[in-house]
Chains A and B, each alone.
Chain A
């Protein structure tokens, strides 16, 4: 494993956390995204998707197997480096985006330093 990845853990399928540098990274292209004490979504590209483009109507009329685009939108979050779709949220239009991951970095560092946790294959393991 490359030295720069030894302090890196996977937080989602696409989001890595460099614990030492306190930075978010894209898991696919490795791009440094931004400060890990901030909402990682602030570092991504965002698109307001009409849900009918993903769930097309199968019949005519108001109830047609497709979401009502006035009630809900698909908010797509892309890595600005490689364009992978890192996250999606189905939200009513205008609803605040969710700050979904707020890892306590100080606690994590402390547990790693104390040997309570170790990193193996980019994941946290509790030491026996």
Chain B
């Protein structure tokens, strides 16, 4: 079986060497051709993305958790419209796999439609599916067009497409290696039938999304051929080559600004499936030397028998989300930007598991690789005059990925994830300013949150409140952006089945930056048999829809449950409530240096509490008028600095006590050996 090896995957991430014909075509570009041509590819992709969003059915599609892209004939990415950058750098693996193994049988022809959702072959995880269409001109393959989107169903052991309980790939439902699903521009009916049975929980969404991918990729194909007709085949080939060369030069120029050295970051995760468990989710050593960057993951915890593992290219995908949001923010989304970057994955770690591993919930671990990248990059970049303002703590990544399945108020079968509805994690605090409040979905910064009314019209839920989550941001000179909270009530149906994925209930995710604090953990919260509707009907004047008051004073009566965020499937009845949270961003810098007036602003915006202003930021102020007493604030802050000097221990003294400690044994069942996280034995999977 030609399952791609790690070496193949890493090699295929790199742009192929230019062919003599490509070089010749690129040399023929006239002045201005590159700039105009590159913009035309942007226009083609943006139009296709619009089509994609409008023709998708799943809420990830509606939210734009997707990518449309153009590749060279050799499979190198030259530009993309996002959506999410998760897929950006890694899809060449799939195209190059098809070209290596299927060029003869079944062959690659004009009118083909290829498809895959298998992370073993180059994807993120199996809800992320991609349609790939070769672009032929007069019988010659000149490019590829792709459309990728997360659909929230895969026919797995649980609804929602990301089975928390899956212990091997065989429990994840549809895992389809690259396969030709259509010929002569038509999807094959026999494939459609095979495919559709995996989406029986939500057939309308499942099939619509498949068609949306194919339609979108084909629109890109049509537009590329229009460009060929207008400017000639050589122009398009030369343009793509020049885009690769220009992007690579831009990336290398940026890397030049970084000092040589080793930069490390370590991040943890606190749940493996539904089991609270501590793992060293990413131990990153980032080495910069002579114009190259090497990501090494030695020291990361071993793989485990759950779906919380990540195939290697999916780790790269998560890192691409950081790179294109920050370091490469002004470069095109192009394979060659990663030309100066290499990856080293030891075998058997959670970031490089066995081929039998389940990886459907990989995003919870993959995100930690992104978080580690933020910190390591910050320490490498801060000295650079041109790059330091790109330094930012990682985004808040804990969130309530609540799955909602059953029959809707329209009597339609549904299976969807409510994380799109939040789409509002806080950005990490930045070197020059605060993180943005509710900046976006950490996996898809440019996705959009659908209106609450849209959620309510399609799912049997009412969104009872949607607010910034007070005190969710990490504190610092530049605080992290605030996360958000929503409250969902089962409405208009007798009941639904709901379960939840996620992490971050016991340990804050990500690391803060340069003396800041991380953001708060989130529990899983539900209230059964509530009297909320009754109170609303009766018009209880005491009832406020403030999330903190509802939780802390339990103003809504019923059976409250606080538990691990990841929850097993349960039936919830009409009127029952579920709380959803998106994490705040970690903070940047010492909170004692935050401008007191900024703290007052945060209070006014209900982003922090009086407790935080007083105890963390040490502000003295009039609570009614929110007027700062500068002198007293300065005294309080000076006193706190003095306390630090008194309680702080020298490194040696600290280590003497610290090294005797360890977390409880039950927390370390998936960690590996303590503390170096080596494998303790093979993983057995069904």
Beta-carbon contacts of B524-538 to A below 8 Å, as 1s and 0s? Answer: 100000000000000
A52 to B591, CA, bound (A): 16
> Does the CB pair B268–A45 fall under 8 Å?
no
Question: Which of B379, B523, B662 lies in contact with A101, CB distance below 8 A?
Answer: B379
**B519, chain A: closest CB distance, angstroms:** 8
Min CB distance, B580 to chain A, in Å?
14
> Could you tell me the distance between the alpha carbons of A120 and B593 in the complex, rounded to whole angstroms?
25
Is B114 engaged at the interface, CB distance under 8 Å to the other chain? no
* A57–B265 CA distance with the chains assembled, in angstroms: 28
Chain B CB within 8 A of A21 CB:
no
Assuming A46-B654, A64-B562, A89-B511, is B385 touching A125 (CB within 8 A)?
Answer: yes
A11–B382 contact, CB under 8 A? Answer: yes
Contact with B along A46-74 (1 / 0, CB 8 A): 11100100111011011111111011101
Known: A67-B521, A85-B515. A90 touches B262 (CB 8 A): no
Given the interface pairs A13-B514, A84-B593, A121-B385, the reply to whether A100 lies near B265 with Cβ below 8 Å is yes
In the complex the two chains form, is A98's CB within 8 Å of B264's CB?
Answer: yes
Q: Indicate which residue in A65, A87, A89 contacts B523 across the interface (CB closer than 8 Å).
A: A65
Which residues of the other chain, B, contact A125 by a CB distance below 8 angstroms?
384-386
Which one of B140-148, B330-338, B642-650 is at the interface? B642-650
Is B186 an interface residue, CB under 8 A from the partner? no
Q: A80 to B49, alpha carbons, bound, how many Å?
A: 54
Q: How far is the CA of A64 from the CA of B471 in the complex (A)?
A: 13
Task: With both chains docked as a complex, state the minimum distance between the C-beta of B436 and any C-beta of chain A, in angstroms.
Answer: 19
Size category, B interface: 35 or more
- Please determine whether A46 and B268 come into contact, CB atoms closer than 8 angstroms: no
Decide if A47 touches B648 in the complex (CB within 8 Å). Answer: yes
The verdict on A76 contacting chain B, using a C-beta distance below 8 Å, is: yes
Q: Are B517 and A82 in contact (CB under 8 A)?
A: no
Give the Cβ gap from B372 to chain A, nearest Cβ, in Å: 10
Point out the residues of chain B lying under 8 angstroms from A90, CB to CB. 268, 507-508, 511-512, 518
Residue among B263, B378, B517, B660 with most chain A CB within 10 A:
B517
Q: Which residues of chain A have C-beta atoms less than 8 A from B548's C-beta?
A: 58
B544 at the interface (CB under 8 A from A): no
Cross-chain contact B278 with A11 (CB below 8 angstroms): no
Query: Are A108's CB and B260's CB within 8 A?
Result: yes
Q: Which residues of chain B are near A97, meaning CB under 8 Å?
A: 655, 658
Q: Is B459 an interface residue (CB 8 A)?
A: no
Is A83 interfacial (CB 8 A cutoff)? yes
B522 within 8 A of A: yes
Bound state CA distance, A74 and B520, in angstroms?
A: 13
When chains A and B are docked, how far (Å) is the Cα of A5 from the Cα of B644? Answer: 27
Does A47 lie within 8 Å of B375, measured CB to CB?
no
Look across to chain A and name the residue whose beta carbon is closest to the beta carbon of B519: A55
The closest CB in chain B to the CB of A9 belongs to B383
Is there contact, CB below 8 Å, between B260 and A104? yes
* Contact A124–B264 (Cβ < 8 Å): no
Cβ-based interface call for A113 (8 A):
no
| B 92-109 contacts with A by CB, 8 A | none
Shortest beta-carbon distance from B261 to chain A in Å? 4
Contact of A58 among B260, B385, B552 (CB under 8 A): B552
CA distance A65 to B268 in the complex (A): 17
Greatest chain B CB density within 10 A among A47, A71, A98, A104 is at A71
Chain A residues with CB below 8 A from B640, complex form: 83
Please report the C-alpha to C-alpha distance between residue A93 and residue B507 in the assembled complex, in whole angstroms: 12
Residue-wise, chain B 366-402 has the 8 Å CB interface mask toward A (1 for contact) of 0000000001101100111110100000000000000
Q: Known contacts A66-B521, A92-B268; can you find 5 more A-B pairs with CB under 8 A?
A: A13-B382, A45-B645, A104-B259, A124-B384, A126-B257
27 contacts between A and B (CB under 8 A): A10-B383, A11-B383, A13-B515, A14-B589, A44-B651, A45-B645, A47-B648, A54-B616, A59-B552, A63-B505, A63-B506, A68-B270, A70-B667, A71-B663, A71-B664, A76-B515, A83-B648, A89-B266, A92-B662, A93-B661, A94-B675, A100-B263, A100-B264, A103-B260, A124-B384, A125-B384, A126-B257
Interface residues of B (CB under 8 A from A): 256-257, 259-266, 268, 270, 278, 289, 375-376, 378-379, 382-386, 388, 431, 475, 477, 505-508, 511-518, 520-524, 548, 551-552, 562-564, 588-593, 611, 616, 640-642, 644-645, 647-651, 654-655, 657-664, 667, 674-675
